[in-house]
Structure 1
Amino acid sequence: MAHDHHQHDAGHRHGHDHDHSDLDWAEVAPLLEAQAELYAPLYRRAMDWLARDVPEPGLVVDVGSGPGVVSGLFAEAFPGARVVAVDGSGPLLERARDRAARLGVADRVGTLAGDLPGVLAELDYPADLMWASQSLHHLGDQRAALAALAGHLAPGGTLAVLEGGLPARFLPRDLGIGRPGLQARMHAVEEDSFAEMRASLPGSVAETEDWPAMLTAAGLKHTGTRSFLLDLPAPVSDEARAYVTTTLSRLRDRIGDGLDAVDRATLDRLLDPGDEAGVHRRQDVFVLVAHTVYTAVRPA
């Protein structure tokens, strides 16, 4: 199973940095917002798909909302719904409230701060649609977390879990510098880093990542699985190029020690604004990623 580990999500932890303990969320927030905005077409397609089974939800809960970009998209996609953005970071939820005000939906978008999944007990009433995007894998016992989320669904309510898919690709296999296949080797190091992160979580439970089976074990009925593609071909926009540059820079900081000297040198050239072969200048940079969404319904 592939993980897109560069996010906090978020939009949604869409940019999951795995050591959250020392992150300054106020500092990271602009990056999370920019990434979620870039991924907005993917999220909108996922919401169109969800709307086929949940056409008019009364309450949508965005679990692990980050700065609220996706919460705002839910408010747009379901104009009759109340949306609650749930996250453990106060600074990110402040940005979610500011975004809702700018979008003119502050009367329909609320926030709830606290640790997942326990904070969901503070919801005023059960959710008709609950969205958990790349947030569950930050909880030690994912199976128990799913059961907890399921307990806050209304009868007939839907839980949508975005996990896995295919990791983001930005670069050709052969860059013309270094050894071909740099991103594949970086992804391999990321997988090891992800496994270490999962093992270090409090109450960590090893789990076969069969999400339909896990949803069924949580007492829900699995109703669908679909992957959504973000395909931004070269030449990319300035916003996409900035996302690629920032993502690779953060990866250099986080997993650079896991690469060999040749790959580290290649990555350093890619991040050098003055290098013609770097991502700031080269014209073959692209963004290609697939995210998978699993849906399940609480029996009525």
Structure 2
Amino acid sequence: MAHGPAHQHAHEHNDTEIDWADMAEHLQTQAELFTPLHEHALAWLGGKQTEPGLIVDAGSGPGVVSCQLAEAFPGARVVAVDGSEPLLELARARAERLGVADRFATLAGELPDVMADLDYPADLIWASHSLHHIGDQQAAIAAYAERLSIGGTLALVEGGLPVRFLPRDIGIGRPGLEARIDAVQADWFTEMRASLPDSVPVTEDWRTLMTNAGLKPSGTRTFLLDLPAPTPDRARAVAADTFERVRDKLADHLDAEDRTTLDRLLDPNDEASVHQRPDLYVLAARTVHTAVRTG
């Protein structure tokens, strides 16, 4: 179960099965681009609690944030948990490169059931955009709560705002392309949630869901990624991959003019493409909801 913003990945619309291993490069590059945002979020978390002994990244994907957790909390052991073994291989390799492998482990299995295989309760469970890929989100939060130590924190990264790369009017096609893509992705997200095993509709009031699981909400904060134009090459790569996935998987749900615009945005030889245009930027918001196990 890889993490990543469902509203920000260009997911498959008709086929709600996601090949996370196939998305490895995109997940890795995007998470690296979001490093400053995660640094601020982890610093905020660090100021709210004592140094954790065991941290679990529930839905770790390729382990970019797992390794940031290890760096932010140098006294902690980190366990990256994911349903994709190829992504966990990348996580282990990253931990080795960054010199944190001696206190880094991985656990393969489907969330939330695999959490029962942890040897010890966690002092911090970080679940970034993985919860919404579990059919019964309330039951999953309850399972996470059971695996927390007394005084331990659950940090859910859910909500926020979709990534923006472009101005409303980009000089080609009809203005408002990204807003229309958002609408198509929102429809896909609804279909994806409904197709999950044991899917349960729920109001996405994360504080209430955590309270229902016996946790005490301890804070909510939204963090921004603000990379104004001109952007680095990594941002252009993420933008290109994002729009390519939209074109490949969701284009049938856009009109012909928008499909033509996407083609131009993805043509490296076109001055209007994300590869060349000078007005490309990155603006995103991710919200972290925290709650503590008190007893």
Relative to the length of structure 2, the TM-score reads: 0.95
**Contact kept in structure 2, 1:113 and 1:119, CA below 8 Å:** yes
1:262 to 249, 253, 257: 257
**Contact kept in structure 2, 1:87 and 1:113, CA below 8 Å:** yes
**Contact kept in structure 2, 1:14 and 1:35, CA below 8 Å:** no
Cα distance in 2, alignment partners of residues 193 and 136 from structure 1: 16
Cα distance in 1, alignment partners of residues 249 and 50 from structure 2: 41
1:9 to 3, 11, 15: 3
Cα distance in 1, alignment partners of residues 238 and 20 from structure 2: 19
Shift of 1:93: 0.5
1:108 to 95, 103, 110: 103
Partner of 2:291: 296
Counterpart AA for 2:278 = Q
Whether 2:216 is the aligned partner of 1:221: answer yes
**Contact kept in structure 1, 2:219 and 2:291, CA below 8 Å:** yes
Over 3 Å counting, the alpha-carbon distance change for 1:70 and 1:13 in structure 2 is farther
Counterpart AA for 1:9 = H
Whether 2:180 is the aligned partner of 1:152: answer no
Over 3 Å counting, the alpha-carbon distance change for 1:10 and 1:24 in structure 2 is closer
Counterpart AA for 1:235 = P
2:166 to 167, 171, 179: 171
**Contact kept in structure 1, 2:4 and 2:130, CA below 8 Å:** no
Relative to the length of structure 1, the TM-score reads: 0.94
Shift of 1:231: 0.4
Cα distance in 2, alignment partners of residues 114 and 239 from structure 1: 31
Partner of 2:64: 69
Cα distance in 1, alignment partners of residues 10 and 40 from structure 2: 22
Whether 2:19 is the aligned partner of 1:23: answer yes
2:187 to 192, 205, 214: 192
- Alpha carbon RMSD of aligned pairs, Å? 1.9
Which is bigger in relative contact order (C-alpha 8 A, separation at least 6)?
2
**Contact kept in structure 2, 1:161 and 1:294, CA below 8 Å:** yes
Shift of 1:205: 0.7
Partner of 1:3: none
Cα distance in 1, alignment partners of residues 18 and 130 from structure 2: 18
Shift of 1:105: 0.8
Whether 2:55 is the aligned partner of 1:60: answer yes
Shift of 1:275: 1.3
Cα distance in 2, alignment partners of residues 11 and 85 from structure 1: 18
Partner of 1:253: 248
Counterpart AA for 2:106 = T
**Percent of residue pairs bearing the same amino acid type:** 62
Counterpart AA for 1:205 = V
- Gap runs ≥5 in structure 2: none
Cα displacement string for residues 35-55 of structure 1 (whole angstroms, at most 9, x for unaligned residues): 111101111100000011223
Partner secondary structure for residue 110 of structure 1 = strand
Shift of 1:9: 2.9
Partner secondary structure for residue 294 of structure 1 = strand
Partner of 1:180: 175
1:36 to 27, 31, 35: 31
Cα distance in 2, alignment partners of residues 77 and 106 from structure 1: 14
Partner secondary structure for residue 80 of structure 1 = coil
Q: Which contiguous aligned blocks of 4+ residues in structure 1 show a shift greater than 2 angstroms?
A: 7-22
